[in-house]
Structure 1
């Protein structure tokens, strides 16, 4: 018979698993409804039980040691067994717990949100937190289970999953077009006002005006929110470089140089390997892909 008094705590193993997925004690504490101090104490207790360190701090955040990786494998088995038990008890395969995702606000609102709502409707005991962030894949532990990011992915510690490409195109509002006219050539942009991201706050440089190779405009209206940019273009602030999926068919916005200029950018889902083994993350990625597939025409314009 196994002496259970000498076995590591299953609760502490599951805490370590959550740390491995989210990477930051504060994020883990929020997900588990406890405190940073409690998480630290549980990890130290597990280290004592296992006779070594399970985590080490690196410039990229907390990383698993070899012992920690073995412990996470055991924790995943416990999580799977508990999930199977809960499914048998409730006679369903519903997911439970917390799923945390970061995503650009525009793509997140248009595609990720309906996908996650569908997931939650099918799994009513699953909590979802969606954070708006327009950035490239984090080199450090990000505090989320899954990142949806724009542009090239350059991280050795996480796995990228290609979701789709989309187009950035130029648009103007009717009032602006009537007041200022529309450019007939790219060089004419220099005579117009422009709506775009705040360049100094932009992490994905491909989204900005400076990297677009367009001429410098007379003036600019810049915002960190794509929704504010769309509203600014509607209100006549200038010509905007907008995702085409943010300008649906029937919109009052007018295409500008539609055949003369566009940018195509990829969108990826990025997560650590231990997060990608989570059933909730797998279901979320599948749901986002399904949403994209069902509405591919909105991304191909």
Structure 2
């Protein structure tokens, strides 16, 4: 079995369509299709079920996927160890994270790694959703809940706090604010309930709110923009709100949430130097931003 054939198999397994797989491999779709058919004939087994919706792996295909991913990781590690420079990283590393994390916690970490390794391409995918490491949508993912299945390695980064925030003039207009009942006339800002990709983001349900906020988005950055414009109240991570002096905490004793970030990666990448280094840089920078005194301790 040739490694080039397995590369084609991996691309189709991850993309589910010949066109998308061909783009990732710089091959035309017809060539990709022929290579998959030839691999199936060589193995004497069907790897994919074809349909108008794309290519879906069979049980045999899923079995082969585990071995193909392991070979891919070994090939990548060997390439870095033999062909790369010992003191510099090269290639591509992609990290997937919620948009709030990407915009407020990863900017400096990604830039520092790129600056220190000129041959390394750092890709940050900032989307409010979960990422599939098995499909190689990302090499590393930051999540709010640790996954419970898959060949994954999970590392807790740190806890972080959230509070209810509003622009100071919005709070002044609602004064005096002694409890949640005093805020009934102020619009709420939050996540769209049927688009919440992690239960840890369902803040208003935890606060006992029966209806959705008046302004909702699946993007934390858009929620922040509304809050900064004085459109209403929004539950925000403290690491986001502290960058905006016009925002103030509302009812800090009554409304305070604790959540955690986790770094998730595929077990097969344990020997890939660029991913290992990226993981360490991310944890170091995020902990220094989230844990008081962590930067001084050099953790």
TM-score, with structure 1 as normaliser: 0.76
Quick one: which of 240, 244, 267 aligns to 1:246?
240
Could you say which residue in structure 2 is the equivalent of 1:9? 2
Q: Please, which of 92, 101, 105 is the counterpart of residue 95 of structure 2?
A: 101
Q: 2:77 — aligned with what?
A: 80
Matches within 5 A, 1:199-278: 199-215=193-209, 220-248=214-242, 251-278=245-272
TM-score normalised per structure 2? 0.77
Q: C-alpha separation between the residues in 2 aligned to 1:62 and 1:111?
A: 40
Matches within 5 A, 1:1-301: 8-14=1-7, 29=22, 31-34=24-27, 38-46=31-39, 66=63, 69-87=66-84, 91-136=85-130, 138=132, 141=135, 143-181=137-175, 183-215=177-209, 220-248=214-242, 251-297=245-291
Cα deviation 1:86-140 (Å, max 9, x = unaligned): 22xxx45433333222210011112223222222222222223322222346597
Q: What is the number of residues matched between the two proteins?
A: 290
Cα distance, 1:77 vs structure 2: 3.7
Q: Name the SS of the counterpart of 1:295 in structure 2.
A: helix
The 2-side partners of 1:74 and 1:145 are apart by: 16
Q: Deviations over 1:160-196 (max 9, x none)?
A: 2222221121111022123222631234343422111
CA shift in 2, pair 1:95/1:132, >3 Å: same
> Runs of 5+ in structure 1 lacking a partner?
1-7
Measure the CA separation in 2 of the matches of 1:101 and 1:61: 28
Unpaired segments of 5 or more residues in structure 2?
Answer: 295-299
CA–CA separation in structure 1 for the residues paired with 2:15 and 2:273? 15
Instruction: Give, in whole Å, the separation in 1 of the partners of 2:120 and 2:36.
Output: 25
- 1:288 offset after TM fit, Å? 0.5
Deviates more, 1:212-221 or 1:164-173: 212-221
Match of 1:5 in 2: none
